[in-house]
Structure 1
Amino acid sequence: MDPFEYDPTFPTGQLDNADPSPNEYFEKNQTLFQNEMYILQKVAISLYSIIFIFGLFGNGLVIWIAGFRMKKTISTVWFLHLAIADFLCCLSIPLLIALWANLSKTPSMVLVHVLFEMLLIITISSSVLLLTAISIDRWLLVMWPFWTKIHRTQKLVRIVVAIIWVTSLISTGSVYYLYVYHVDIITNYNTAWRIHLVRLLIMFVIPFLIIVACYVTIFLKLRKSNRPQRSQRPYRIITAVILCFFICWAPYYAWPLSPKYYIYNVQSQIIITLIISLAYLNSCINPIIYVFMGQDFRHGFLKSIPFRIKEAISVQPDVQCQEQDDGDPAPTTDF
């Protein structure tokens, strides 16, 4: 069905038997539906364009700083790949804009939609797995400091990051397989609902529970140790990143479980637009967190942005453990 074609499920009120005639009423509401969709189209494209610009610039700056302007440490490896995932998420926005600019379901737009879904899934999967891995890493630092002193190396972290990206690619490939070879499965309401439920549990609920368990344990440990305020700052930064991620993506995972998700009208499209905008907002919010949780404003706000990002992603927890460089048994002082 053409998105601008009037849908009988769209609420139209009660027909008057005398005036107007049913055909006139249908044409009037179809025109109203098309006009509202055109307005929503312009709003959606504007929102996505703004998020794309800020996200591309912010994450590009983080990638440049963490990848080329800082010493390679475990902390910079984590945040570098988190920024890469957000950067890829921003790169999928032009595909979404193209879908909104051409709402008809032509074969080319179906291909664009598949590419958009694949790029979005790989970024979501990698982001949530990276945040879970960072949380476990912080938990090990606090709970098992002597074990991490020996085994926590940059080589191990790079292996974990590689596994995360491969896992994300595999999950993306499975979605492509469903879209191309089993489209009848994902268009069936009951089957699609079960797929969305499984996705919610595996990619949202379970990682969130693991992360919460890690940071509750860390909080209790730090509280008993009476460590100074600054030693807890690295945990506040990554906690803010994690909370923003789950707040922004929670509606995206929950909305497909609602029966209204499968009703095509203006109201549902407004909700979907807001939900996707909130989800994409997360892709440009992490650099903002790094900037405002940094402590270097001595060069002025704009000039201090790189300094504050560098400080935020390099700050180390105050634990009895130090990171080891690859092939060097002596620990270094960088986290």
Structure 2
Amino acid sequence: MSGDYYAYDDEMESPCELSSDTGHSLKYFLQVYVHSLICIIGFVGNTLVILTYAFYKRTKSMTDVYLLNVAIADVLFVVALPLIIYSEQSGWALGDWSCKLLRGVYSINLYSGMLLLACISLDRYLAIVQARRSFRFRSSMLVYSYIICAVVWLSALVLTLPTFIFYQRYKDSEIINTTFFVFPAMVSSSPYSTEEPRKPQEDKQICFFRFNDNNTAKRIKLLVPSSQVAVGFCVPLLVMGICYSSVVFTLLQAKNFERHKALRVVLTVVLVFIACHLPYNAALLYDIIYMFSLTDCSHYKNTQLLLIITESLAYLHCCLNPLLYAFIGVKFRNHFRKVVEDLWCLGKSYVGARRTSRITSEVYLSSRRSVDSSGNENGTSFTM
């Protein structure tokens, strides 16, 4: 038997350790370099989307409301992620509340972002496939888009309740003296093993699930990742597949020369979504299936390495959302161009004299008036 587990008695099952040099080095590289780059790009791109909607382009359609909420979810996500990484490296020094709050915020924005993408695909279906029937409905139902977004955020909060309830900060040395089911992947321990059990680092603080009994542990540890795969991937993928398939079929029948561009947009949105999220969710589903199976530690370690790599690919999607959904629209790009120009002018005004500052302010205000007065009330930033 391998020494990568704790051997207590013939009735105990014990967790594998992911402590190999390869796994640790890979995780450290992804967190420090790849995740940091994703967070910086995602924060800049989505913040610009929020600023554009806040100061230049009013939310005039249901898609605009969804895009704004997607950008907010992605910003909160890329803010929570580096805080989680830092807390892991520092042993969750801020205490139990940081463990629950950061993990909870991370999960809420994961669910809400994915569900909002499904809402966008449904709105595009109504706008293109059911254009005549839904025109009056969509133009008069803007207020209901806020209600839909509120329902999405509330649903994400409900799905995250197990994280808020069962995540705790504790020393991994406490695992030795507990009978709680803590880790998912297990190996059978042999009472005949002559090797000394490997003990975890005594003072390392971790933030993970902790339960009072094994029955609750097994239910929650199956429910949480299963919900993530079902609600966070399968449901959005199903909605996007149905809606965008109908959109593609409708566009193929149209004789507008712009249809080829619209088809490329739709296919790009779907393919990028699948490329970013399918590998991670497939690996997560595989981990769920073999979660409580007696298996070799090498098998468990390989699965965890696969999850680490594919999870980074899934994070990349938050950087691509502004490009796929917001900046692809001509009207949105025009508003965004005004953001860049005005920020440049305002930056120069701090260096120049007061006269330059007054001129910049006048240019800023006049540009705001021209943008607000020229926009079509029924326009949308997601132009296809």
TM-score by length of 2: 0.60
Q: Which residue of 2 aligns with 1:64?
A: 51
Deviation at 1:198, TM superposition (A): 4.1
Q: Which residue of 2 aligns with 1:82?
A: 70
Q: Which residue of 2 aligns with 1:159?
A: 147
In structure 2, distance between residues paired with 1:291 and 1:199: 26
Deviation at 1:216, TM superposition (A): 1.0
Deviation at 1:232, TM superposition (A): 6.1
In structure 1, distance between residues paired with 2:73 and 2:270: 14
In structure 2, distance between residues paired with 1:182 and 1:100: 17
Aligned equivalent of 1:139, options 125, 143, 159:
125
Q: Which residue of 2 aligns with 1:276?
A: 311
Deviation at 1:77, TM superposition (A): 1.9
> Does residue 248 in structure 1 map to residue 235 in structure 2?
no
Give the counterpart letter for 1:213 in structure 2: I
Deviation at 1:266, TM superposition (A): 6.2
> Does residue 8 in structure 1 map to residue 43 in structure 2?
no
In structure 1, distance between residues paired with 2:339 and 2:245: 26
Residues 65-123 of structure 1, C-alpha deviations (whole Å, 9 max, x = no match): 12322132213222211111111110111123224424x5x685765443332122111
> Does residue 50 in structure 1 map to residue 29 in structure 2?
no
Asked if 1 retains the 8 angstrom alpha-carbon contact of 2:74 and 2:318, the reply is: yes
In structure 2, distance between residues paired with 1:213 and 1:164: 20
Deviation at 1:176, TM superposition (A): 1.6
Deviation at 1:195, TM superposition (A): 4.3
Q: Which residue of 1 aligns with 2:256?
A: 228
In structure 2, distance between residues paired with 1:239 and 1:88: 27
| Equivalent position SS for 1:258 | helix
Q: Which residue of 1 aligns with 2:112?
A: 126
> Does residue 258 in structure 1 map to residue 286 in structure 2?
yes
Residues 113-166 of structure 1, C-alpha deviations (whole Å, 9 max, x = no match): 433321221112111211111111111223333332222132122222222122
Q: Which residue of 2 aligns with 1:170?
A: 158
Distance of aligned partners of 1:7 and 1:78 in 2 relative to their CA distance in 1, 3 Å threshold: farther
Distance of aligned partners of 1:247 and 1:120 in 2 relative to their CA distance in 1, 3 Å threshold: farther
| Equivalent position SS for 1:92 | helix
TM-score by length of 1: 0.68
Asked if 1 retains the 8 angstrom alpha-carbon contact of 2:99 and 2:167, the reply is: no
1:199-218 equivalences in 2 (<5 Å) = 199-218=228-247
Size of the aligned set, in residue pairs, is 281
Q: Considering fraction of residues, name the structure with more strand.
A: 2
Asked if 1 retains the 8 angstrom alpha-carbon contact of 2:121 and 2:243, the reply is: yes
In structure 1, distance between residues paired with 2:75 and 2:324: 16
Distance of aligned partners of 1:52 and 1:254 in 2 relative to their CA distance in 1, 3 Å threshold: same
In structure 1, distance between residues paired with 2:38 and 2:20: 26
Higher mean C-alpha deviation, range 162-171 or range 183-192: 183-192
Q: Which residue of 2 aligns with 1:14?
A: none
In structure 1, distance between residues paired with 2:102 and 2:234: 24
Asked if 2 retains the 8 angstrom alpha-carbon contact of 1:193 and 1:257, the reply is: no
Asked if 2 retains the 8 angstrom alpha-carbon contact of 1:85 and 1:126, the reply is: yes
Distance of aligned partners of 1:130 and 1:309 in 2 relative to their CA distance in 1, 3 Å threshold: farther
> Does residue 101 in structure 1 map to residue 130 in structure 2?
no
Q: Which residue of 2 aligns with 1:315?
A: none
Give the counterpart letter for 2:249 in structure 1: L
| Equivalent position SS for 2:258 | helix
Deviation at 1:227, TM superposition (A): 3.4
Asked if 1 retains the 8 angstrom alpha-carbon contact of 2:60 and 2:377, the reply is: no
Q: Which residue of 2 aligns with 1:307?
A: 337
Residues 189-228 of structure 1, C-alpha deviations (whole Å, 9 max, x = no match): 576235423432233213211210111112112222x232
| Equivalent position SS for 1:172 | helix
Q: Which residue of 2 aligns with 1:149?
A: 135
In structure 1, distance between residues paired with 2:224 and 2:157: 18
In structure 1, distance between residues paired with 2:144 and 2:284: 37
Deviation at 1:267, TM superposition (A): 4.6
Q: Which residue of 1 aligns with 2:379?
A: 334
In structure 2, distance between residues paired with 1:236 and 1:99: 41
